[in-house]
Copies of this chain bind each other. A is one copy, B any other.
């Protein structure tokens, strides 16, 4: 199996799209699928799919296609989703609170283990199974829980310093919702969710 660093971010995005499709197929009890049928469903080229899957040794059988369940497991393993990833959320405002309650963050590969805020009036608030913790306890909680990932849901002006605190605490990957570019440190990857991209894509369909 190639190292994940050899697989580009665009390929990972496509693998993630395939995985989502395969899960939908499984829920419809579809057991086999050809690359051309996958191409039609995922709006990609069949050649692209065969190339992506061949990279990690997955070859469809001509006339039969791929085994949906097996391919799903291979993709989950390739994407590192065959184990639980613990995450903390920094910022207990509207977005942080919504994410703490988001079902997909508390089942399958991800588990939110703590939610931090620096506003004393919020610390101690109950959010289902979680209580809002003080940002001062970040380092200790990350060490105790073994959290590797974080979601940054703080105002733009506080994003960089909170990213630094997460990196200092040993967090390896950060999903940033603040509308600002974070200066990345080599040991802690950051991905910014830019909601304007989705809106711009939608707007471009309005003529």
Q: Is the CB of A80 within 8 A of B203?
A: yes
Is A26 part of the binding interface, using a Cβ–Cβ cutoff of 8 Å? no
Q: Is the CB of A205 within 8 A of B173?
A: yes
CA distance A202 to B176 in the complex (A): 11
Q: Is the CB of B94 within 8 A of A9?
A: no
Of the residues B87, B102, B197, contact of A179 by C-beta under 8 Å: B102
Is A88 part of the binding interface, using a Cβ–Cβ cutoff of 8 Å? no
Q: Is the CB of B205 within 8 A of A105?
A: no
Q: Is the CB of A149 within 8 A of B206?
A: yes
Of the residues B17, B103, B109, B204, contact of A203 by C-beta under 8 Å: B109
Of the residues B10, B16, B98, contact of A94 by C-beta under 8 Å: B98
Q: Is the CB of A104 within 8 A of B195?
A: yes
Q: Is the CB of A20 within 8 A of B197?
A: yes
CA distance A99 to B98 in the complex (A): 12
Of the residues B20, B79, B110, B206, contact of A172 by C-beta under 8 Å: B206
Q: Which of A29-37, A118-126, A135-143, A186-194 contacts B (4 or more CB under 8 A)?
A: A186-194
Known interface pairs A95-B98, A98-B94, A109-B203; A193-B195 also in contact (CB < 8 Å): yes
Q: Is the CB of B191 within 8 A of A198?
A: yes
**Residues 72-121 (chain A) with a chain B CB within 8 angstroms:** 78-81, 85, 87, 93-95, 97-99, 101-105, 109-110
Given contact pairs A16-B200, A104-B195, A191-B198, a sample of 10 additional A-B residue pairs in the complex whose CB atoms are under 8 Å apart: A7-B204, A80-B206, A80-B207, A81-B203, A87-B199, A94-B101, A110-B196, A189-B205, A193-B195, A193-B198
- A-B pairs with lowest CB-CB distance, top 5: A94-B98, A173-B202, A94-B94, A79-B204, A104-B196
